[in-house]
């Protein structure tokens, strides 16, 4: 298969592609959220509890998530861990500038089965709707590009804090 790199400017197409890649994972899905709001937005819509239960638990997909956390997210993580044995979440520190500014650009990173990646720009983190919050995205199934994002994800993973639930 020929390596493919696409810049997707249409927000709906960006979100739809990220969703399709997420549910297509057969072995492993890696996702990095830059802010608390981005995690909440995605759990409410794209990575809903029902989708996670239906898709990932039935197929035993390993799901690794990097996200900043607060008390509400800790409760969500507890609920998710009950439903998904293959879930591993680590805590990131949220950049104070990015969490308070709607003009700061950040990205959500999605890597499926170490074969596909999509990087979705968050153009306005204050928005509740994914389509209003997201910007352009970059999709790739190039082995070199995907492995570069995997290496970055792993570095951040190794520097992040495991979440201990009581």
| CATH number of the domain where residue 68 is located | 3.30.870.10
The yes-or-no verdict on residue 152 having pLDDT over 50 is yes
CB 136 within 8 A of CB 9: yes
Query: How much is the average pLDDT of 78-94?
Result: 82
The yes-or-no verdict on residue 46 having pLDDT over 60 is no
The yes-or-no verdict on residue 101 having pLDDT over 50 is no
- Contacting residues for 16 by C-beta, under 8 A, at least 6 apart: none
At 48 the pLDDT is 59
- Number of domains comprising the chain: 1
At 86 the pLDDT is 79
The radius of gyration of the chain from alpha carbons, rounded to an integer in Å, stands at 15
Could you tell me the pLDDT band of residue 163, with boundaries at 50, 70 and 90? confident
Q: What value does the mean pLDDT of the chain take?
A: 84
Could you tell me the pLDDT band of residue 45, with boundaries at 50, 70 and 90? confident
Strands (E), the chain: 5-8, 28-32, 62-68, 87-92, 106-112, 116-122, 134-140, 161-162
Strands 106-112 and 87-92 come out as unpaired
At 103 the pLDDT is 46
Residue range of the domain that includes 86: 5-162
At 47 the pLDDT is 57
């Amino acid at each position: 298969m020929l390596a493919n790199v696409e810049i997707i400017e249409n927000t709906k197409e960006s979100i739809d592609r990220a969703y399709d890649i997420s549910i297509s994972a057969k072995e492993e899905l890696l996702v990095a959220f830059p802010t608390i709001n981005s995690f909440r937005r995605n759990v409410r819509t794209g990575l809903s509890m029902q989708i996670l239960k239906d898709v990932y638990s039935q197929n035993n997909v390993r799901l690794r998530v990097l996200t900043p956390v607060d008390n509400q997210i800790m409760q969500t993580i507890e609920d998710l861990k009950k439903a998904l044995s293959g879930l591993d979440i680590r805590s990131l520190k949220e950049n104070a500038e990015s969490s308070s500014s709607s003009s700061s650009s950040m990205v959500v990173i999605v890597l499926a089965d170490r074969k596909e990646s999509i990087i979705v720009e968050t153009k306005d983190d204050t928005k509740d709707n994914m389509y209003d919050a997201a910007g352009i995205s970059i999709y790739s199934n190039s082995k070199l590009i995907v492995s570069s994002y995997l290496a970055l994800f792993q570095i951040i993973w190794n520097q992040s804090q495991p979440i201990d639930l009581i």
